[in-house]
Amino acid sequence: MAQEIKVPTLGESVTEATVGEWLKQPGDPVQRDEPIASLETDKVAVEVPSPIAGVMGELKVGVGDTVEVGTVIATVEEGSAGAAKPAAPKVESKDAPAPSPAPAPAQAKAASGDESIAMSPAVRRAVLEAGVDPTQIKGTGKDGRLTKEDVLAAAEAKKSGGAAQAAPAASASPAPAATGERREERVKMTRMRQTIAKRLKGAQENAALLTTFNDVDMSAVIETRNRYKDLFAKKHDIRLGFMGFFSKAACLALRDVPSVNAYIEGDEIVYHDYVDISVAVSAPNGLVVPVVRDVDQKGFAQIEKDIADFGARAKDGTLTMDDMKGGTFTISNGGVFGSLMSTPIINPPQSAVLGLHRIEDRPVVVDGEIVIRPMMYIALSYDHRLIDGREAVTALKIIKEAIEDPARMLIDL
C-alpha cells in the first residue's frame, strides 16, 4: 500500500518551500523517520522524513519546484525495506539545466556499484568544477553526506600534491579535450538566496544606513585567552574564542546606548531590556543568522557553546526556524574569511550590526613609542533614522574599551 508523503508544516508564516534535493530515489529502501527529501525555505533547509518503512515510490515533483504545505511530493510503498524495486526515472524540474553530454567520472555512482551518492546541486557543481572523484571523499555532513567544503578541501589537497585520484574506467567515447571556448551557466537561485537578496536590498531602501569605524588592540584579549584557554576547555569542554568577548562587550554597549538595541515599528521605537544576538554564520546555501538568546545573562562558556552548536548545525543544514527568530543585534565576523574592513548591512528589523575583521600586526604609537600590536578594525553599521552618530560612536567606543581591558566586563564598567 502506498503512503503519500506531504510537505510538513514549515513554521510560523511559512507556507511554501523549494525542493532542494531528493535524498532517496524510486526503488531505494526507506526506514521509518529516515529523511527522503530536503526542502529549502526562506531561512533554513527542512528534511522530510518517511512515516513508514518500505520502498521509495513515485516522485511527484522535481528539484527546484516550489511546493506548498500539504502538497503530496512522493509516495512510499509500505513493506520490507530490503525488497527494493527497480529504480524509476528520476523526476527533474522543468527549470533545471539540461544534463551535460559528458558527465564527470563517478559523479553520480559510488565505486561499489549502483548506490547513488546524495549530493546537493551546489556540491554537484563543485565536484564538476574541481574535477574530483566524490567516491574518494569522506563526507562530513549529516549522515556522512558530502558538503561543498569537503569537495573544496579535496581539490586543494589534489593541487598541493595529495594522493592521486584513481583513474576513471575507460569509456567508449572519452570526453573531448578543452578547446578554450568560453561558457556560461544559468543556475536558478535557491529560495534562501532569493530571500537574502530581498532582505538586504530592503534594508538599503528602508533604512538610512551609515557605518562608523574604530580599531582595537587585541593584545589583552589574546593574552587572557592564551592564559586560560586550557583550563577553560578542561572545565567547560568548549574552546575559548573571541566571540564570547565581543558578545559580552556588546552587552555593555547596548545597555549604555539602548537605541542600538532597539528598532523602528511604524511611528514607534521598540526598546528591549534583554540582548538576543544574531550571529552570522556561513551555511552551504548562504549566510544565516541564528540567535543566541539572553546573552546578557549568560557566561562565556554558554555563549561559546551556543555559537559552536549553531555553526555545526548550519554546516549540516539542521538549523530550525525557531533558531532564526528574533534577535536584537547582530555580530558578523568577516575576519574568519580574511576581511580587513567592511561595511556590514543591518539585519531587519534590527537597527545595528557589529562587523569584526582579521587581526594583523600593525605599528601603533603607545606612550610616545612605535610598537607592534595585534590590531583589528571593527565597524558598526546602523540605522541613522533611530541612532545618532554620537550614539553609534559611543557604542563602538565602549566595545573597543572593553576588548582592550577585559576586566571591564567582569566588574560591569
Q: Which of 256, 322, 384, 405 is catalytic?
A: 384
Name the residue among 124, 142, 115 with its Cα closest to residue 28: 115
Answer yes or no: 357 catalytic.
Answer: no
From the number of C-beta atoms within 10 Å of its C-beta (0-12, 13-18, 19+), residue 169 rates as exposed
Helices (DSSP H) in 207-319: which residue ranges? 219-236, 243-256, 300-316
Q: Which of 95, 256, 294, 388 is catalytic?
A: 388
Helices (DSSP H) in 237-292: which residue ranges? 243-256
d(CA 78, CA 65): 26
Helices (DSSP H) in 67-142: which residue ranges? 121-130
Answer yes or no: 388 catalytic.
Answer: yes
Q: Are 64 and 39 in contact (CB under 8 A)?
A: no
d(CA 20, CA 98): 17
Crossing angle of the two packed helices 148-159 and 121-130, in degrees rounded to 10: 10
161 Cβ neighbours under 8 A, 6+ residues apart: none
Please give the single-letter amino acid code of residue 287. L
Residue positions annotated with a catalytic role: 384, 388
